[in-house]
Amino acid sequence: MLGLAKRVGARFLLTSTSEVYGDPLQHPQVETYWGNVNPIGVRSCYDEGKRVAETLTMDYHRGAGIEVRIARIFNTYGPRMCIDDGRVVSNFVAQALRKEPMTVYGDGKQTRSFQYVSDLVEGLVRLMESEHIGPFNLGNPGEFTMLQLAEVVQETIDPKARIEFKPNTEDDPHMRKPDITKAKEQLGWEPTVSLRKGLPMMVSDFRQRIFGEQKAFSA
């Protein structure tokens, strides 16, 4: 894609990730933080893959003069996500709708920040239309533990939804929260949709697709 952008003179957008920060020793995370990543861990193919993608993007910018923009995207949710993609919000929502226990790994005290998809799209558009390269953190600074997220899902779907604890995965980051000062100042962007406002819109979509699919299979 970088080669194509070079040939046709296109502006190139890299959708990087908060995972470049690994299991951060700095909280919240700012764009100047280099991260704390295990290069041979079970998560390293994703973490290091995105880190080298940023490296290549900046090399093409410096060496070939192509226009580039880099966004570091934090956890994002919303309608039309894959129902069984393994991401925590879609996991919890699908499990609660199916009357299955919500799976919490470890003690549930690890934190994440969740942004609604429309906020992310607005941030990406503003980045591409700006004259700033980045990287920019694009995420919602509202921070929730996994147990707090499960409680919001219970409030939204079923107060009686159960929680099931399982052993934590290796190299799971303990904390994740973006510092979005740079995006506020240079892009005039910040998220506007809170988790409690955005989650019901996702739940409505999931409910329609899950139970719509079940009706189709039973017909």
Residue 162: is its pLDDT beyond 70?
A: yes
Instruction: Give the other-Cβ count within 10 Å of 143's Cβ.
Output: 16
What is the rounded radius of gyration, in angstroms, for the C-alpha atoms of the chain?
19
Residue with tokens 């880190």: 51
Find the mean pLDDT for residues 98-125: 96
Could you say which DSSP state residue 77 is in?
Answer: E
Active site residue 77: no
Q: Residue 215: what pLDDT? A: 56
Q: Residue 213: what pLDDT? A: 61
Choose the catalytic residue: 21, 46, 60, 105: 46
pTM for this entry: 0.92
Measured in degrees and rounded to the nearest 5, phi and psi for residue 50 equal -70, -35
- The answer to whether 103 touches 164, Cβ cutoff 8 Å, is yes
Find the mean pLDDT for residues 114-127: 98
Query: For residue 109, which of 52, 62, 175, 179 has the smallest C-alpha distance?
Result: 175
